[in-house]
Copies of this chain bind each other. A is one copy, B any other.
Amino acid sequence: MATQTAQQRRDDAKLRFDAYLAGCPSRRLLDRIADKWVALVLKSLAAGPQRYSDLARQLAGVSQKMLTQTLRNLERDGLLTRTVTAEVPVRVDYELTPLGSSLGQLLGDLKSWAEEHMPDVDEARQRYDRRT
């Protein structure tokens, strides 16, 4: 086998690291909950099942595309269920699964930390920006 150049060794290390990140549960969780609309959808559904149009109304800034995409991903991950009722017009309800509720709890903890500590961050940021 040939001797590797330094460049090859760096590339290899990077590939292994990327693979590690892709499988890392913590990283995957962060990527999931940081999706722009996930937290808001979960919060809305924490109050009980909601129709698609209810969600669209509460999340005033969301596009149809992103709302649907977010809901599909959450359904795929087993965090909520999608129920179609064949009325006219069609009715679709979304409801959290136990797993989804569990994630909602976690986000509640995050919210607590944020409300407690983000003011400190703001202060630090102002200090940093004022120093020349």
Are B16 and A110 in contact, with the CB atoms below 8 A?
no
Number of interface residues of A (CB under 8 A): 45
By a CB distance below 8 angstroms, the chain B residues around A34 are 30-31, 33-34
Indicate whether A123 reaches chain B with its CB closer than 8 angstroms. Answer: yes
Are B60 and A14 in contact, with the CB atoms below 8 A?
yes
Within A1-54, which residues are at the interface with B (CB < 8 Å)? 13-14, 16-18, 21, 25-31, 33-34, 39
Which one of B76, B106, B121 contacts A110 once the chains associate, using CB atoms below 8 Å? Answer: B106
CA A116 to CA B113, docked complex, whole Å: 21
Indicate whether A75 reaches chain B with its CB closer than 8 angstroms. Answer: yes
Are A30 and B26 in contact, with the CB atoms below 8 A?
no
Number of copies: 2
Are A26 and B39 in contact, with the CB atoms below 8 A?
yes
Indicate whether A125 reaches chain B with its CB closer than 8 angstroms. Answer: yes
By a CB distance below 8 angstroms, the chain B residues around A89 are none
Whole-angstrom distance between the Cβ of A131 and the nearest chain B Cβ: 10
* A-to-B contact residues, CB < 8 Å: 13-14, 16-18, 21, 25-31, 33-34, 39, 59-61, 75-79, 99, 102-103, 106-107, 109-111, 113-115, 117-118, 120-121, 123-125, 127-129
